[in-house]
Copies of this chain bind each other. A is one copy, B any other.
Amino acid sequence: MGTQQIDYYSSQDKMYVAADCIVFGFDEDELKLLIFKRRVEPDKGNWSLIGSFVKIDEDVDDATRRVLKEITGLDNVYFEQSYTYGNANRDKGYRCISIAKYALIRIEEYDKNLVEKHGAYWYKINELPKLTLDHDKMVIDALNKLRRKARYQPIGFELLPEKFTIPQLQSLYEAIYQRKFDSRNFRKKVLSLKVLEKLDEKDKSNSKRGAFLYKFNNKNYERLLNSGYNFEI
């Protein structure tokens, strides 16, 4: 805050602040979004992102972690801040500012029991139903942020299992950018970054021959980031 300290909030009206989460996952070569069918009014039956009001003594990031934990059962979910939506009339009936965060989760780690409990479903990113309020825009914005970020940080790894194959990594990037890449050029590029460690195991779930598994080398990644680079696939 700056120089002004006028009490604008002396009226009865309350300013609500919500941490809303755009939860991306990757599964079966598809980028997916976790959304919820509202089971209470207002807007019962409509699809929505998940979120929660931020408590008065709670960091916004902690509110985000709380929401993600409740929904996915996971601690330490990767998330980044997207935009903050502050139009006075964006919500119905009350003033609510939404601080949007996008999260990336490995679908196979996701606790499936939580789905039914919360009325949650994974939708393919290009088959989404209409969402409530301005949530459609929030998804578009988050996806654009993800795409932009994935260009200069190998963020995509957050969406893959710990061990993954290069064809898997490629199909993830194809899902994020919604276009095909040449497999020779893709492989050349990601290997040139030297952040992948080849393992002795193969994953044979997709082919008879099997594809070598790799894991992500965090130490080399740090080095890469500090030297400043650009993914540019």
Seen from chain A, the residues whose Cβ lies within 8 Å of a Cβ on chain B are 1-6, 8-9, 11, 13-21, 36, 38-40, 48-63, 67, 81, 83-84, 86-88, 91, 95-99, 118-119, 133
Once A59-B88, A81-B84, A84-B81 are accepted as A-B contacts, the answer to whether A49 and B2 lie under 8 Å apart by CB is: yes
Once A18-B1, A51-B1 are accepted as A-B contacts, the answer to whether A9 and B40 lie under 8 Å apart by CB is: no
| B20 lies within 8 A of A16 (CB) | no
Once A57-B95, A60-B97 are accepted as A-B contacts, the answer to whether A3 and B39 lie under 8 Å apart by CB is: yes
Provide the residues of chain B in CB contact with A51, threshold 8 Å.
1-2, 4
| B86 lies within 8 A of A60 (CB) | yes
| B88 lies within 8 A of A1 (CB) | no
| B56 lies within 8 A of A95 (CB) | yes
Provide the residues of chain B in CB contact with A84, threshold 8 Å.
60, 81, 84, 99
Shortest distance between the CB of A33 and any CB in chain B (Å): 13
**Nearest opposing residue in chain B for A5, CB measure:** B40
Shortest distance between the CB of A91 and any CB in chain B (Å): 6
CA distance A217 to B100 in the complex (A): 35
**Nearest opposing residue in chain B for A18, CB measure:** B1
